[in-house]
Amino acid sequence: MSTAFTLDLTKSFELALEKVSIDLDNIPEMAVKVALDLSGSMSTLYPRWVQNALDKFIIAAMKFDDDGALQVGFFNNEMEITREATEEDVGSYINNVNVRPYGGTSFFPILKEFVGNTEGSK
């Protein structure tokens, strides 16, 4: 994807943060992760729509994540953690990891993996 497109997304993201009075110089660092539905019902939304949404998460990770990368996972009947997404993946991550929607939806395993043990919580 072009550098201009990435820059445009980054600028839009920064403007959105400023609109809600988030100080860009004091953004806390954190681990940014996204879990994407890869079930069969999502088949018409891959790769274009999901890539567009993922691009926004990549840009957010560039600002918020402690190492500037986005941890990505997919779920359907199974769960798969794929390689991290970086600035170079804007516009191309979904095609590059070659995922195809199929199966049902079981989101608990990936949430457990990303968030941790939720035993005892409601």
pLDDT by residue (tens digit) across 1-26?
567 666 677 777 777 777 778 777 77
Say what the pTM is. Answer: 0.79
| Mean residue pLDDT across the chain | 86
Per residue in 66-83, pLDDT tens?
A: 899 999 999 999 999 999
Q: What is the pLDDT of residues 112-121, one digit of tens each?
A: 999 875 454 4
CB 13 within 8 A of CB 59: yes
